[in-house]
A = this chain, B = another copy of it.
Amino acid sequence: MKKEINITEVARKAGVSTATVSRVFNNSGPVKESTRKKIEKIIEETGYRPNILARELADKKTHLIGLIVHDMRGEGIPRSITGVSTVLEENGYNLLIACSNGNINSEIKHFEIFRSKRVEGILFATKEFKKEHRELIKSLPIPVVVMLQDTEKEQISYVTFDNYNFGKESAQKLIDLGHKQFAVVGGPMHSVNSEQRKKGVLDAVSENGIAISPLLIRHGDYSIEEGYIQTNKMLAAGTSFTALIAINDGMAIGAVNCLQDHGIRVPEEVSVLGLDDTVLAKASRLELSGVYYSYSELGKESARLLLKQIQADEFQFDKYIVPYTINLRESVAKRRHV
């Protein structure tokens, strides 16, 4: 195993001082052309690479950002990470990643490790934002930006999607198409994002003076299977509906499958819309309607917000809401037989 060579070694071989080598490497001062050449030759020959740690220790800048995520399955987070990575690279920062698997102890541990590693800021995505998180983050001497959660009331900087509003606007679109009987398949009730979307939907509905049966509000775990199961239960309930909104596209697919298995035509009899628009939407035969929001953009903005705070050397509360687009496709139609 070859060893890395250090600056002293290079200096010795070149018969100069370390300061001169440093000047050559960083172009940080005048060096006579001949000595520069000589040193460059040695660097070339030895394959010398400065030990950045030493430099970082000296000027107390690591150019390191820590990212803690709870899960990397699903297409959202990886795309966000790509966005983060892009912006960091443009700014000469590196990315330290930890995956907590939703375990709060693991999250806390990684905040600690990252702090010890002297990252200059932390990006944090968790399933559920708890009091412990708030306290931990408030006690940190470096800025933190929360991703995919609304931490407005904790006054911690965040970047997220406009869950409430696109939920509301989506429902309004269906209402505008004449729909009056709704069914909703929400996500897990402890998920803030899912609940916000659901609230948007329900608010739109009630603001239009439409009632919705509690039997037609169900919850699933985002999977295709659950979409199927919950839709099945709603059909069994016997209360009819002409529009179904699922909190994500996986469950929307399950819903379509279930409806079709019951001989119910989509969209002629029931329109289906997912509040989400991932690769899954494209896999289904029927072109599924959905709401698109860019995870990559979310990652980029999160990184930008964080770098801004690092550069400003202060943590002002800040936030960014990523825009969305509602894509109505095959699975949605005007209500018939009005």
The answer to whether B82 and A49 touch across the interface, beta carbons within 8 angstroms, is no
Residues of B contacting A257 with CB < 8 Å?
285
CA distance A97 to B62 in the complex (A): 15
Q: Which residues on B sit within 8 Å (CB–CB) of A81?
A: 72, 97, 99
Are A313 and B1 touching (Cβ within 8 A)? yes
Give the number of chain A interface residues (Cβ < 8 Å). 54
Which candidate, A37-45, A112-120, A148-156, A188-196, is the interface stretch facing chain B?
Answer: A112-120
Closest 6 CB pairs of A and B: A283-B283, A2-B141, A72-B78, A78-B78, A52-B116, A85-B99
Q: Which of A1, A52, A283 has the most CB of B within 10 A?
A: A283
Q: Would you call A14 an interface residue if the criterion is a C-beta within 8 Å of the partner chain's C-beta atoms?
A: no
Task: Pick from B1, B57, B113, B315: contact of A53, CB below 8 A.
Answer: B57
Assembled-state Cα–Cα distance A81/B85 (Å): 15
A139 at the interface (CB under 8 A from B): yes
Q: List CB contacts (< 8 Å) of A223-266 with chain B.
A: 224, 250, 253, 257
What residue of chain B has the Cβ atom nearest to residue A114's Cβ? B94
- The 8 Å CB contact of A96, one of B3, B94, B224, is B94
| A99 close to B116 (CB less than 8 A) | no
User: Does A98 touch B at the CB level, under 8 Å?
Assistant: yes
Smallest Cβ distance from A125 to chain B, in angstroms?
Answer: 13
